[in-house]
Chains A and B, each alone.
Chain A
Amino acid sequence: MVLNKQDCQLIAQIQDGLPLTSRPYGEVGRRIGLSEDQVIHRVKALQAAGIIKRMGVVVRHHELGYTANAMVVWDVPDHQVDEVGARLGARDCVTLCYRRPRRLPDWPYNLFCMIHGRRRERVLEYIDQLVITEQLGEVPRKVLFSGRRFKQRGARYQ
């Protein structure tokens, strides 16, 4: 999808959030000189093209009681990493799962997944279960719990 000038104006207008008003797309259109129908049409197109991944809310998981937040990193042989990643990503307790480059010799891990929970003990149980059911006992791994959070905000692109 090629973005035109109006799309860029639209993205700039909504990237910090939608207006909390009865007709939010109409209100956005009023600010940038488009009709409500035009805004709805373009936002749908942006979502269909995957430029908008989803619409909705982002929770501050910490404030909602999900205070135990583990990044589990694995050193999976390259020829198996995509298959293992797909399996881990399909598990309910895994909230994010990515393949990333190793940074040898300091950092040998190439598969990262996030597991959030209300208590550290529970998160460790989830990880033990994952290791058993996905047969990952031989795969080197590390569990990095988060400590202090210094900053959380959405990314801005324009």
Chain B
Amino acid sequence: MDETDRAIINRLQDGFPISDRPFQAVAGELGIDEGTLIERLQRMLDTGLLSRFGPMFHAERLGGALSLCAMRIPETEFDRVATQVNAFPEVAHNYARDHAFNMWFVLATETSERMASVLGEIADVTGFPVYDMPKEEEFFVGLRFDV
């Protein structure tokens, strides 16, 4: 990752134009050409520095549901349960954390009905209760990482 890559990442965390030649517009701001921008974006997606390029959707406004879920899993069972949880396509990401509640994952479902059923299925398959904590209020932040 060089200075140009950093500039691209920082710029594209602040939005992307909705216009006929958006790459050309951004490339112009960064002082590079359109082809270079596209090529570098493709490479950073391929190498996994970037996980997505495009629109970020508001799940609830699309009729879907999102929830943060936590589980308390004994160390000896942890890997088995992680494998079982991650097998659900609704699990968007999953982190171990250093607390009695040691497994934390985000569930994203197409409908709120599916949310209720997938919570039950995870508890059934793993044998442990799932504590779901959907957001009740989101406080404004500008999530971005300066690189």
Q: Which residues of A contact B (CB under 8 A)?
A: 3, 11, 14-18, 20-26, 36, 40, 43-44, 46-47, 49-61, 63-66, 69, 71, 82, 85-86, 88-90, 94-101, 103, 106-107, 112, 116, 142, 144-158
Contact of A151 among B38, B105, B145 (CB under 8 A): B105
Contact of A112 among B18, B19, B68, B94 (CB under 8 A): B68
Cβ-defined contact, B13 with A59, below 8 A: yes
Residue in B closest to A15 when the chains form the complex, CB atoms: B57
Q: Which B residues between 31 and 74 are near A, CB-CB below 8 angstroms?
A: 34, 38, 41-42, 45, 48-59, 61-64, 66, 68, 70, 72
Chain A contacts for B145, CB-based, 8 A: 59, 61, 64, 66, 95, 116
Residue B86 at the chain A interface, CB threshold 8 Å: yes
Chain A contacts for B51, CB-based, 8 A: 58-60, 152-154
A99 to chain B, nearest CB (A): 4
Determine the main DSSP class of B at the interface with A: mixed
Chain B contacts for A151, CB-based, 8 A: 86, 91-94, 105
B74 to chain A, nearest CB (A): 15
Residue in B closest to A42 when the chains form the complex, CB atoms: B18
Chain B contacts for A57, CB-based, 8 A: 9, 12-13, 41, 50, 52-53
Cβ-defined contact, A55 with B18, below 8 A: yes
14 A-B contacts, Cβ less than 8 Å apart? A15-B57, A17-B45, A17-B52, A56-B13, A56-B15, A56-B16, A97-B139, A101-B136, A146-B97, A147-B98, A152-B51, A153-B93, A155-B57, A156-B108
Chain B contacts for A11, CB-based, 8 A: 57, 62
Residue in B closest to A107 when the chains form the complex, CB atoms: B131
Contact of B97 among A23, A24, A59, A147 (CB under 8 A): A147
Cβ-defined contact, A52 with B58, below 8 A: yes
Cβ-defined contact, B54 with A50, below 8 A: no
Contact of B50 among A49, A59, A112 (CB under 8 A): A59
Residue in A closest to B93 when the chains form the complex, CB atoms: A152
Chain A contacts for B63, CB-based, 8 A: 157
Chain A contacts for B55, CB-based, 8 A: 14-15, 18, 43, 46-47, 52, 54-55
Cβ-defined contact, A54 with B15, below 8 A: yes
Q: A85-B139, A88-B139 are in contact. Are A18 and B53 (CB under 8 A)?
A: yes
- Which of B55, B108, B133, B140 has the most A CB atoms < 10 Å from its CB? B55
